[in-house]
Amino acid sequence: MNAEVPLVVASRPDCKGVQRAVDAGLDCITICRRDFAGIKEFSDAVFGALRTKQVDLVTLAGYLSLLHIPDDFRHRVLNIHPALIPAFSGKGMYGHHVHDAVVARGAKVSGCTVHLADNEYDQGPIVLQSSVEIPDEATAQDVAALVFDREKIAYPEAIRRVTSGHLHLDGRRTRLVFPDAAAAKQPNTP
């Protein structure tokens, strides 16, 4: 993937992502939600930092704080959720809570969803979903491992789709639209 990571923003200083970013030599800062009066002030700080680095696309990965997405970042923030939205999604459905719920419900299929984030939990337009079958005796940890393996493929593919210039929104749906090659070769006629 032809991409640069100009900044990593963590919501907690003790998360694994901070150490991974530092080990990779990436610029990493922590902006803690609890240090701000509200979501708007917190979000202003996060997106202010992203603007200073001229970030084109924000990819949330394990970022558990709700963000208010400003207009200039609308449809430029991707999130990955460890279930097939709308199932097992929304406030409180993150990490192991999702996989515990999948096993408790006896679901036969789970997976991951990459979506354009908006100002609500797991409500934005879906870019890509990828499913996994759940073995009958699977534990929540087994489901987490199966889904994580799928996430490692799905998230880069979703990023490619968004950055390709071919992803178009049609209401709440996303569609990959490619110019018609045959029409492009037609000569212009008066």
Q: Please count the structural domains in the chain.
A: 2
Q: Which amino acid is at 153?
A: I
What tens digit of pLDDT does each residue of 74-114 get?
999 999 999 999 999 998 999 999 999 999 999 999 999 99
Q: What is the percent of the chain where pLDDT is above 90?
A: 80
pLDDT band, residue 63 (cuts 50/70/90)? confident
Structure token digits, residue 181: 């090659």
Whether residue 140 sits in one domain with residue 77: yes
Residues 80 and 118 in one domain: yes
CA distance 84 to 65: 20
**Whether residue 81 lies in the annotated active site:** yes
pTM: 0.89
Given this model, what pLDDT does residue 66 score? 86
Of 25, 40, 55, the position where a domain reaches its end is: 55
169 phi and psi angles, rounded to 5 deg: -90, 135
Do 34 and 85 lie in a common domain? no
Average pLDDT of the chain is: 91
Domain end among 40, 55, 70: 55
Is residue 67 domain-shared with residue 154, that is, in the same domain? Answer: yes
Task: Let me know whether 158 and 107 are in one domain.
Answer: yes
| Domain carrying residue 65 | 58-176
The catalytic residue among 68, 75, 81, 115 is 81
